Amino acid sequence: MDLSLLMTLALLAGSLILLMISSDKFVMATEEIGLSLGVPGFVMGISVLAVGTSLPELLTGIISVNQGSSELVVGTVIGSNIANILLILGISAIFSKNFTILWDLMHGDLPILFGSLLLMGFIIYPLSTVDLQVFREISHQIETTGQGNPGMRSVVNFSEGLILLAGYLLYLHYYVLRNREELQKVDKDEERPDFKPMSVVWIILGGIGVYFGAQYTVDAAIELARLMGMGTEVIAASIIAAGTSVPELVVALSAVRRNNFEMAMGNVTGSNIFNTFVVLSVPSLAAPFIGDGQPIKVGMDSVLFLQFPYYCATMFIFLVIVLDKTLTRTEGFVILLAYALFFSKLFGLL
């Protein structure tokens, strides 16, 4: 293997590790401060935990936009969502003796999760007038100069980003309404943990680590794509997506060890909803003001004809799991095989 390729892989692995450790420290310190200030644990769960486990994807997306490689955003979102279902639930099922779901997702997060899938499909496919204009400009560029990227046919613009962000705000509103009774049961006299000044230090150090980890992750992904002769969105949907899903995997395995399978499932649905609504929207809202000032690019044909259709198939598998309310070890191995197939298709091995 080429030395430069090995060095790039090592840089990517190191930056992902820095990103994971830093985001973990940032989340833990933020949670400690929130609890010491009397913020209810439920509120911390839907805010800090949800944002914290997806913080690597979010920072990676913003920095990739700033560097003019915005196609990394969509690839990371779709790849992470696929990894959350196939990789995390597959491993969780293997390490669990009896993965049984008692929580009724059909009347909760599942409709919102499928709604986010529908919104993503309408946004990333070249169906709008903005996408058509981009497609025509690229076609004209290819005809006149012989250069251009014919696969870069769609964008996520500012208005679509606002729609996605509004979707997440509606989800939070629904979530709070659904758990109003739990919020009202919060004991005002409950003893708060002492404030730890060191938590502030960890927030600062964690934030710095997350920034540089995301920065080097994007740099390494761009270089790796160049060395391997493939689109950056392929690297994003595979290596970056799997790496940034590690926090969700840790949370899921911890929940499974305590036989809290509902938490493992809720972690997957919550993370996928956050990825679609926020990780895809925030970079698109920031794009006009940072980097090259252009809307974020959806990516090559890999996104439109492999990654998103595979995500739709993955969501069908997830629906079957939810309806069956059980996940056996055999089924865990099968969905892990499905994830291996996704990797093979991405890299053209099959």
Rounded Cα distance between 25 and 31, Å, is 10
Mean pLDDT for the stretch of residues 79-95? 93
Residue 139 has pLDDT above 80, yes or no: no
Poorest-pLDDT segment among 9-13, 37-41, 281-285: 37-41
Q: What proportion of the chain, given as a percentage, has pLDDT over 70?
A: 84
Q: From residue 126, how far is each of 122, 210, 241, 286, 298 by CA, in Å?
A: 8, 33, 24, 21, 9
Residue 6 has pLDDT above 80, yes or no: yes
In a domain, 185, yes or no: no
In a domain, 31, yes or no: yes
What's the confidence (pLDDT) of residue 141? 72
What's the confidence (pLDDT) of residue 108? 66
Instruction: Find the radius of gyration of the CA atoms of the chain.
Output: 20
Mean pLDDT for the stretch of residues 148-171? 83
Higher pLDDT, 262 or 70: 70
Round the average pLDDT of the chain to a whole number and report it.
Answer: 83
SS3 label, residue 152 = coil
* pLDDT (tens digit per residue) in 272-285: 999 999 999 999 99
Residue 41 has pLDDT above 60, yes or no: no
* pLDDT (tens digit per residue) in 282-308: 999 999 899 888 888 887 778 888 999
pTM comes to 0.86
Mean pLDDT for the stretch of residues 146-158? 70
In a domain, 137, yes or no: yes
* pLDDT (tens digit per residue) in 174-197: 877 766 665 555 545 456 667 677
Poorest-pLDDT segment among 66-70, 113-117, 129-133, 262-266: 129-133
CATH number at residue 253: 1.20.1420.30
Higher pLDDT, 67 or 31: 67
Rounded Cα distance between 281 and 11, Å, is 28
Rounded Cα distance between 254 and 10, Å, is 28
**Which of 73, 81, 76 has its CA nearest to residue 313?**
81
What's the confidence (pLDDT) of residue 198? 84
What's the confidence (pLDDT) of residue 281? 95
Residue 151 has pLDDT above 60, yes or no: no
Mean pLDDT for the stretch of residues 112-131? 86
Higher pLDDT, 188 or 170: 170
In a domain, 186, yes or no: no
What's the confidence (pLDDT) of residue 338? 96
Domain count for the chain? 1
Poorest-pLDDT segment among 120-124, 152-156, 326-330: 152-156
What's the confidence (pLDDT) of residue 313? 96
In a domain, 328, yes or no: yes
Mean pLDDT for the stretch of residues 110-118? 91
Q: Could you tell me the residue range of the domain that residue 88 belongs to?
A: 3-180+196-346
Residue 226 has pLDDT above 90, yes or no: no
Note the helical H segments in the chain.
3-36, 41-44, 50-53, 55-66, 71-82, 89-94, 109-124, 129-145, 158-178, 180-184, 197-228, 232-235, 241-244, 246-257, 261-274, 281-286, 301-302, 308-324, 329-346
Mean pLDDT for the stretch of residues 343-348? 90
* pLDDT (tens digit per residue) in 314-344: 999 998 888 888 888 999 999 999 999 999 9
Q: Which residue has the tokens 């943990």?
A: 193
